Amino acid sequence: MSRDAGPVAVPTYPRVPVPLSARAVLTVDLHALRANWARLNQASGRAECAGVLKADAYGLGLAPIAKALTSEGCKTFFVASVDEGRAAREVQPGATIYVLDGLLPGAEPHYAGFDLRPVLASLPEVRDWAAYCRARGRRMAAAIHIDTGLNRLGMPESELEELAASPELLSAFETTLVMSHLACADHAEDPMNERQRLRFEALRAKLPPAPASLANSGGLFLGQPYHFDLVRPGIALYGGRAHENKPNPMQTVVRLAAKILQVREVSPGQSIGYGATYKVAKPSRIATIAVGYADGFLRALSVATGEAGPVGYIGDYPVPIVGRVSMDFITADVTEVPPELARRGAWVEVMGHRVTVDDLTDRAGTIGYELLSRLGQRVYRVYEGTGV
Active site residues: 54, 274
Closest to ligand PLP by CB, 171 vs 373, is: 373
89 binds ligand PLP (CB under 6 A): no
Which one of the spans 124-132, 195-203, 229-237, 320-328 is the region binding ligand PLP (CB under 6 A)? 229-237
Q: Output b/e per residue, 361-371; b: 16+ Cβ within 10 A.
A: bebbeebbbeb
The interface mask with ligand PLP, positions 236-265, x = CB under 6 A, is x-----------------------------
Phi, then psi, of 25 in degrees rounded to 5: -130, 130
Give the span between the Cα atoms of 375 and 55, in whole angstroms.
11
In the complex, minimum distance from the CB of residue 369 to ligand PLP, in angstroms, rounded to a whole number: 6
In the complex, minimum distance from the CB of residue 287 to ligand PLP, in angstroms, rounded to a whole number: 34
Give the span between the Cα atoms of 291 and 376, in whole angstroms.
10
Phi, then psi, of 88 in degrees rounded to 5: -70, -40
197 binds ligand PLP (CB under 6 A): no
Give Dmax (Cα) for the chain: 78
Which one of the spans 156-164, 231-239, 275-283, 380-388 is the region binding ligand PLP (CB under 6 A)? 231-239
Closest to ligand PLP by CB, 29 vs 147, is: 147
Closest to ligand PLP by CB, 49 vs 319, is: 49
CB atoms within 10 A of CB 15: 11
Per rule CB under 6 A, count of chain residues that contact ligand PLP? 12
Closest to ligand PLP by CB, 92 vs 216, is: 216
Among positions 26, 52, 66, 330, the unique one binding ligand PLP when judged by CB under 6 A: 52
- Of 210, 158, 150, 211, nearest to 180 (Cα)? 150
- Residues forming a β-bridge with 255: 27
On whether the CB atoms of residues 129 and 140 are closer than 8 A, the answer is yes
49 binds ligand PLP (CB under 6 A): no
44 binds ligand PLP (CB under 6 A): no
Which one of the spans 110-118, 214-222, 264-272, 286-294 is the region binding ligand PLP (CB under 6 A)? 214-222
Among positions 117, 227, 232, 241, the unique one binding ligand PLP when judged by CB under 6 A: 232
* Residue closest to ligand PLP (Cβ): 234
- Of 204, 256, 255, 213, nearest to 231 (Cα)? 213
What is the four-CA torsion angle of 88, 222, 224, 31, rounded to 10 degrees?
A: 40
Which one of the spans 59-67, 213-221, 339-347, 359-367 is the region binding ligand PLP (CB under 6 A)? 213-221
DSSP, collapsed to helix, strand or coil, labels residue 102 as coil
235 binds ligand PLP (CB under 6 A): yes
On whether the CB atoms of residues 26 and 238 are closer than 8 A, the answer is no
In the complex, minimum distance from the CB of residue 36 to ligand PLP, in angstroms, rounded to a whole number: 11
234 binds ligand PLP (CB under 6 A): yes
In the complex, minimum distance from the CB of residue 152 to ligand PLP, in angstroms, rounded to a whole number: 9
Among positions 85, 102, 118, 233, the unique one binding ligand PLP when judged by CB under 6 A: 233
In the complex, minimum distance from the CB of residue 381 to ligand PLP, in angstroms, rounded to a whole number: 20
Among positions 76, 96, 122, 217, the unique one binding ligand PLP when judged by CB under 6 A: 217
In the complex, minimum distance from the CB of residue 182 to ligand PLP, in angstroms, rounded to a whole number: 8
In the complex, minimum distance from the CB of residue 358 to ligand PLP, in angstroms, rounded to a whole number: 13
Give the span between the Cα atoms of 179 and 59, in whole angstroms.
25
On whether the CB atoms of residues 337 and 319 are closer than 8 A, the answer is yes
Parallel, antiparallel or unpaired: strands 330-333 and 317-322:
antiparallel
In the complex, minimum distance from the CB of residue 362 to ligand PLP, in angstroms, rounded to a whole number: 16
Q: Which of residues 337-376 bind ligand PLP (CB under 6 A)?
A: none
Element (H, E) at 371: helix 368-373
CB atoms within 10 A of CB 388: 10
Q: Output b/e per residue, 18-42; b: 16+ Cβ within 10 A.
A: beeebbbbbbbbbebbbbbbebbbe
**Where along the sequence are the contacts to ligand PLP (CB under 6 A)?**
52, 54, 100, 181, 216-218, 232-236
